[in-house]
Structure 1
Amino acid sequence: MKIAFHGAARTVTGSKHLITLDNGKQILLDCGMFQGMGQDTDRLNEELGFDPRKVTYMVLSHAHIDHTGLIPRLPKLGYNGPIFCTAATRDLTDVLLQDSAEIQRDDAKYENKKRHQQDLPPIEPLYTVDDALRAVKQLTPVNYNTWTRIDPDVEVLFTDAGHIIGSACVHLRITEHGQTRQLTFSGDVGRYGDMILKSPEVFPQADFIVMESTYGSSLHEAAVPSDAELLRYIHETCIENKGKLIIPAFSVGRTQELLYALNMAQLNGKLPKVDFFVDSPLSLETTEVVRSHPECFNDTLQAVLRRDDNPFDFPGLTYIRTVDESKQLNFRTAPCVIIAASGMAEAGRVKHHIANNILNPQNMILLVGYCEPDSLGGRLMRGAKQVHIYGTLYEVNARVGSIRSMSAHGDYHDLGHWLKCQDAQKVKKLFLVHGEYEVQQIFREWLQKLGFGDVEIPAQHSEVTLP
């Protein structure tokens, strides 16, 4: 048995790992899109690194685009098999892939206007909405905590990862030459004590582990809770400075967490009286999907539901649906809070809102999660004084803030907690993926002190034979 790492290898996006069995069958874990990789992004998304026609099965950990975003390319390139996932992941992926296709279409249209003026050939999106709709038909839901046989020699088990609605850690029980071994793929591990979701679950002993390491060298704990920090930024920007607070937020997970925190502040009489806008039709759709899967909520939110049937809505909140409504926010002079996708500010309406508000020192751009270093959000987080947005150079006059503790990714303490159910001596090999290389090197040393002897950081497109 071999495993090859064709994405999220010494970087955080583009998750895709290919297992090849001795009998030639192949199992693809995730098929994510690279995001925020600067000029290399398009090239990386064009080069899968494997032949989809040879893939036998695909297993999907969760719906985020950096794990699902290239799935619509697979049927076009020859893969027509099942894509196993949880029911909530199926529902979210349906929405997110259609949105991804629409964003690509709109961004290509915008870019081609400039290319036409420069006598350059037009660019094409990676896939269309029709491609996304065809791919979604291959999504095959599997229940949590039940071993499901997908092949005479392969069983799959999903355990809750606590990252977003429907997220799962993937466990494969593979039999070869009369010997059964378990390979565990963490997907993205969430936080223990999340305000909305259940905590990551324990899982059976693994022989091999492919593990994310996004925050493998840092702790999220802050002196001030994230909801208190959020209210402080709103008060400073909208009440004291009379400005606009622009919050790039992923439509799944982060937006619902923000809305839940704001709703609870309103219920407790602490929410400043300003207007709030969620400028993302996708966020409205995904919030409805999240509401439709209360089985994934933790006990605290289950209790809130008994007194508030919609914990993601509150007086003063408006969902923006149309492009014209979104444009009207540019002419608004009154203080307000605008929450819009994407979380790394690489695409979507938030990019236009940043461009229209970045020159005003009264305004603030508040980053509330991980940003790839080369993404617009990453550059702002690092303190860039100037940034390019859609080819135009802007001075960064607006203030930039961040609440790192709102990340849906576990820090190294959470990741260590996730591994506590494992006997380190029985894990033959542990691979670190989905992390920046410097962070992974630090995390590897920490894991080795915990007793995990063989910890490898695979490079892009590298392949390893499992002992």
Structure 2
Amino acid sequence: MKLTILGAAEQVTGSMHLLQLENYNILIDCGLDYEKDSRQIENMFFPFDPADIDVVILTHAHIDHSGNLPTLVRMGFNGQILCTPPTAELTELLLLDSVNIFLSKQNKRSRSKRQGSGPQPLYLYKHVAETVERFVTIGFQKEFRINENLSVTFIPVGHLLGAAAVYLTVNDNGTTKKIAFTGDIGRKNYPLLIDPQVIPPVDYLVSESTYGGRLHTTDTTLEQKLIETITESCIKYPGRLIIPAFSIGRTQALAYALNKLFSKKLLPPVKVFIDSPLASSATEIYHKYQHYLNDEAQDFYEDKTELTDFKELSYVHDKRESVSISNYHEPCIIISSAGMLEGGRIQDHLYYNIQNYYCTILFIGYCAKGTLGDRLLRGDPIVRLRNRDLMVYATIKQTDLLSGHGDHNDLLNTVKQQDPATLKKVFLVHGEKRSLNYLADALQQENYNVVIPKKDEIFEL
């Protein structure tokens, strides 16, 4: 049995791992690599023939794990894609949105005589439709036999609705081996989502390490942070609070948290705009799969009949409504995508507000290196929007209380559920080098055999 780390090696995005058995090839995740930039042609090339892949197993819907599936299908993959039911529906939304982004960027470039037409989209709507046809859904904690030598079980890990660790039982030439891929590990007590569950004992573990060496804030609660920030931004001063948030996952968690605040009357009424059609569609899926949510969320829904909708909230559906928000002169909260500020309607809100002294921009998630969000967080005094250099006068803030990733201790504890005497190797992926090294050092002190793979590195298991 061979394992090849094809993506998210010494970086965060582009998750893709190849597990090769005798005459059978399994691909775990097939994500876009944002370090290469999803517009660039590098995402189109696979270090294998897509037709040789027998099955894909998808941990969750986020684009850095699912976003290159249509390219795989377009280039010859003809097998099944296994995932949980919510992951299938959320992935379809995100892949369709990716096509919208590809086409939008292509149209912008084609209108620029200086830049020319630019690269072609990685895939089109028809390729997404062909991809969705290949989804086969499996519930949590239900062993699914792929063939006589291979079975998979999805273990809940929080992080996102339907997100799972992949637990594989393999018959390798008469020897039973177990290997797990954590996907992205969530955190305990996260809004809406269940806590990560224990991964059964394995021989090999491929673990994410996004927050290696970093601890989440513990000196305040999400409720306290939101009250403090909204009071400062919208009540004490008549300004506006802009929150870049991923349309799927982060937006639903934030809307739920705000719903609880306003329901308890802990804040005076403040208008809230969610400017993302994708978020609206994703929220419907969250409601459809309420039985996948945590007990608190289910109890709240039974009491209030709405998880993420409340009097002060308005969903913005079309571009005209989105533009009109700039003319709304009362204090307000604007939640819009994308979370890293790379595309989406959030860029329009930034363009109109980045030089507004009475505007606060609150980041609630991770921003990959090189993204516009990362540049604002590191304090760049000037950013480029719509081909203009704009001074940054808005207040930039950040909180990790809505991060969907477990921190250093959560990652450490996930691995420590395994016995170091029987766990042969831990492969650390999906992290920047600093995070990988911190987590590796901590695990080695606990007597685990840790490997930080290079991209395309092959391991005999």
2:216 matched residue in structure 1: 220
Are the aligned partners of 2:7 and 2:13 in contact in 1 as well (CA < 8 Å)?
yes
CA deviation vs aligned residue, 1:125-162 (integer Å, no higher than 9, x gap): 21112211111111110121121111221100111011
The answer as to 2:450 corresponding to 1:455 is yes
The answer as to 2:129 corresponding to 1:133 is yes
Alpha-carbon distance in structure 1 between the residues aligned to 2:44 and 2:237: 45
Are the aligned partners of 2:39 and 2:121 in contact in 1 as well (CA < 8 Å)?
no
Deviation at 1:41, TM superposition (A): 6.4
Deviation at 1:27, TM superposition (A): 0.3
The change in CA–CA distance for 1:20 and 1:397 in structure 2 (over 3 A counts) is: same
Are the aligned partners of 1:412 and 1:443 in contact in 2 as well (CA < 8 Å)?
yes
1:246 matched residue in structure 2: 242
The answer as to 2:14 corresponding to 1:14 is yes
Say how many residue pairs are matched: 461
2:68 matched residue in structure 1: 70
Alignment match of 2:433 (pick from 408, 430, 437): 437
CA deviation vs aligned residue, 1:406-431 (integer Å, no higher than 9, x gap): 11000011122323431121111110
Unaligned regions of 5+ residues in structure 2, if any?
none
Are the aligned partners of 1:235 and 1:272 in contact in 2 as well (CA < 8 Å)?
no
Classify the secondary structure of the residue corresponding to 2:234: helix
The change in CA–CA distance for 1:400 and 1:45 in structure 2 (over 3 A counts) is: same
Are the aligned partners of 1:38 and 1:375 in contact in 2 as well (CA < 8 Å)?
no
Alpha-carbon distance in structure 2 between the residues aligned to 1:62 and 1:119: 35
Identity %: 37
Are the aligned partners of 1:247 and 1:365 in contact in 2 as well (CA < 8 Å)?
yes
Alpha-carbon distance in structure 2 between the residues aligned to 1:429 and 1:448: 11
The answer as to 2:207 corresponding to 1:211 is yes
Alignment match of 1:378 (pick from 374, 382, 386): 374
Alpha-carbon distance in structure 1 between the residues aligned to 2:49 and 2:382: 41
Deviation at 1:39, TM superposition (A): 6.0
Alpha-carbon distance in structure 2 between the residues aligned to 1:327 and 1:192: 38
The change in CA–CA distance for 1:41 and 1:6 in structure 2 (over 3 A counts) is: farther
Are the aligned partners of 1:34 and 1:41 in contact in 2 as well (CA < 8 Å)?
no
1:362 matched residue in structure 2: 358
The answer as to 2:93 corresponding to 1:98 is no
Classify the secondary structure of the residue corresponding to 1:404: coil
The change in CA–CA distance for 1:46 and 1:387 in structure 2 (over 3 A counts) is: farther
The answer as to 2:269 corresponding to 1:270 is no
The change in CA–CA distance for 1:6 and 1:229 in structure 2 (over 3 A counts) is: same
Are the aligned partners of 1:84 and 1:140 in contact in 2 as well (CA < 8 Å)?
yes
What amino acid is aligned across from residue 389 of structure 1 in structure 2?
Answer: L
Alignment match of 2:310 (pick from 294, 314, 317): 314
Are the aligned partners of 2:39 and 2:119 in contact in 1 as well (CA < 8 Å)?
no
CA deviation vs aligned residue, 1:97-130 (integer Å, no higher than 9, x gap): 111111221222123222xx21624432211122
1:50 matched residue in structure 2: 48
What amino acid is aligned across from residue 165 of structure 1 in structure 2?
Answer: L
Are the aligned partners of 2:109 and 2:117 in contact in 1 as well (CA < 8 Å)?
no
2:27 matched residue in structure 1: 28
Compare 382-391 and 403-412 and name the one that shifted more: 382-391
Are the aligned partners of 2:277 and 2:316 in contact in 1 as well (CA < 8 Å)?
yes
1:256 matched residue in structure 2: 252
TM-score with structure 2 length normalisation?
A: 0.97
CA deviation vs aligned residue, 1:342-367 (integer Å, no higher than 9, x gap): 11111211122112211111111110
1:171 matched residue in structure 2: 167
Alignment of 1:72-87 (within 5 A): 72-87=70-85
CA deviation vs aligned residue, 1:73-106 (integer Å, no higher than 9, x gap): 1111000100000011111112111111112212
Classify the secondary structure of the residue corresponding to 2:421: helix
Alpha-carbon distance in structure 2 between the residues aligned to 1:123 and 1:243: 40
Alpha-carbon distance in structure 1 between the residues aligned to 2:387 and 2:431: 28
Classify the secondary structure of the residue corresponding to 2:205: strand
Are the aligned partners of 2:106 and 2:117 in contact in 1 as well (CA < 8 Å)?
no
Alpha-carbon distance in structure 2 between the residues aligned to 1:389 and 1:48: 33
CA deviation vs aligned residue, 1:196-251 (integer Å, no higher than 9, x gap): 11111112211000000000111113311122212221221122332221111011
Are the aligned partners of 2:412 and 2:439 in contact in 1 as well (CA < 8 Å)?
no
Are the aligned partners of 2:259 and 2:308 in contact in 1 as well (CA < 8 Å)?
yes
Classify the secondary structure of the residue corresponding to 1:425: coil
What amino acid is aligned across from residue 24 of structure 1 in structure 2?
Answer: N
Are the aligned partners of 1:73 and 1:127 in contact in 2 as well (CA < 8 Å)?
yes
Are the aligned partners of 1:112 and 1:123 in contact in 2 as well (CA < 8 Å)?
no
The change in CA–CA distance for 1:338 and 1:178 in structure 2 (over 3 A counts) is: same
What amino acid is aligned across from residue 19 of structure 1 in structure 2?
Answer: L
Are the aligned partners of 1:75 and 1:135 in contact in 2 as well (CA < 8 Å)?
yes
The change in CA–CA distance for 1:339 and 1:208 in structure 2 (over 3 A counts) is: same
Classify the secondary structure of the residue corresponding to 1:334: coil
What amino acid is aligned across from residue 238 of structure 1 in structure 2?
Answer: C
Alpha-carbon distance in structure 2 between the residues aligned to 1:430 and 1:379: 33
Q: Which ranges of 4 or more aligned residues in structure 1 deviate by more than 4 Å?
A: 38-41
Are the aligned partners of 1:234 and 1:272 in contact in 2 as well (CA < 8 Å)?
no
Classify the secondary structure of the residue corresponding to 1:72: helix
Alpha-carbon distance in structure 2 between the residues aligned to 1:168 and 1:179: 26
Alpha-carbon distance in structure 1 between the residues aligned to 2:165 and 2:37: 32
1:88 matched residue in structure 2: 86
The change in CA–CA distance for 1:231 and 1:26 in structure 2 (over 3 A counts) is: same
Alignment of 1:386-405 (within 5 A): 386-405=382-401
Deviation at 1:395, TM superposition (A): 1.4
The change in CA–CA distance for 1:460 and 1:352 in structure 2 (over 3 A counts) is: farther
Alpha-carbon distance in structure 2 between the residues aligned to 1:40 and 1:320: 27
Deviation at 1:389, TM superposition (A): 2.9
Alignment match of 1:107 (pick from 105, 108, 112): 105
Alpha-carbon distance in structure 2 between the residues aligned to 1:303 and 1:39: 42
Classify the secondary structure of the residue corresponding to 1:224: coil
What amino acid is aligned across from residue 278 of structure 1 in structure 2?
Answer: I
What amino acid is aligned across from residue 315 of structure 1 in structure 2?
Answer: K
